[in-house]
C-alpha cells in the first residue's frame, strides 16, 4: 500500500512539472511536525507581543516548515512564515501579537519547489505574558477578597 501511494504521488508530481528527473526528497513529505509547544518566556525575556512556537522535525523530505496562527475560536489561519522556516530549524518567533488575545498555533511541512504541504500539526493554545500576568493578578485579587 505504501508503494502504491508513493507511485501515485511521483506520477502526479511528474505530470504537474513535466520533468524527466527530480529529487525524490523534494517531492514527498512523510508526516507532520509533532510535539508542538508555545511560550512567551524565552531568551531570558518575558515577551508581551510575541510567542515562540517549537516543534519536533520528524518529517522526512520536508525542505521547510510553515507556522500558522489564529485567534482562538477563529476559523481562518494566518500564515506567519510565507517563505517557510528552514528544515532542521525547530522554533519560530511569531511577533506583533495582540497582548490580550488568546492564540492557537500549528506547523506544517512544506516543499517550496512543488508547493506540497502536509496537513496541520496538532494545535496548541498560547497567550502572551501580558495576558498571563493580567489573569494572575485578577485571580490573586479574587482569592485575597
Pick 44 or 12 by higher pLDDT. Answer: 44
Pick 121 or 42 by higher pLDDT. Answer: 121
> In sequence order, which residues have a C-beta less than 8 Å from that of residue 75 and are 6 or more positions away?
none
- Asked if pLDDT for residue 81 goes beyond 90, the answer is yes
| Highest mean pLDDT (candidates 7-16, 57-66, 88-97, 109-118) | 88-97
* DSSP-assigned beta bridge partners for residue 71: 103
Lowest mean pLDDT among 26-40, 61-75, 92-106: 26-40
**What topology is assigned to 30-144 in CATH?**
Immunoglobulin-like (2.60.40)
**Cell 500500500 -> residue:** 1
pLDDT of 91: 95
Percent over 70 (pLDDT), the chain: 65
127 and 134 Cβ atoms separated by less than 8 Å:
no
| Highest mean pLDDT (candidates 4-18, 83-97, 124-138) | 83-97
Residue closest to 56 by CA, chosen among 110, 117, 121: 121
Which cell goes with 48? 508581551
Alpha carbon distance 93, 127 (integer Å) = 13
pLDDT of 130: 61
What is the pTM assigned to this prediction?
Answer: 0.69
Domain boundaries, the chain: 30-144
Alpha carbon distance 78, 53 (integer Å) = 14
Amino acid at each position: 500500500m505504501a508503494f502504491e501511494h508513493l507511485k501515485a504521488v511521483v506520477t502526479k508530481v511528474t505530470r504537474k512539472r513535466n520533468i524527466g528527473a527530480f529529487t525524490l526528497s523534494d517531492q514527498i513529505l512523510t508526516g507532520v511536525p509533532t510535539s508542538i509547544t508555545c511560550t512567551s518566556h524565552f531568551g531570558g525575556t518575558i515577551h508581551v507581543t510575541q510567542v515562540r512556537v517549537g516543534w519536533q522535525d520528524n518529517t522526512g523530505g520536508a525542505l521547510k516548515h510553515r507556522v500558522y496562527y489564529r485567534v482562538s475560536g477563529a476559523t481562518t489561519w494566518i500564515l506567519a512564515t510565507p517563505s517557510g522556516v528552514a528544515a532542521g530549524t525547530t522554533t519560530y518567533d511569531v511577533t506583533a501579537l495582540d497582548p490580550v488575545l488568546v492564540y492557537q498555533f500549528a506547523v506544517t511541512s512544506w516543499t517550496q519547489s512543488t508547493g506540497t504541504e502536509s496537513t496541520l500539526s496538532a494545535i496548541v493554545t498560547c497567550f502572551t505574558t501580558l495576558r498571563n500576568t493580567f489573569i494572575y493578578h485578577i485571580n490573586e485579587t479574587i482569592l485575597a477578597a
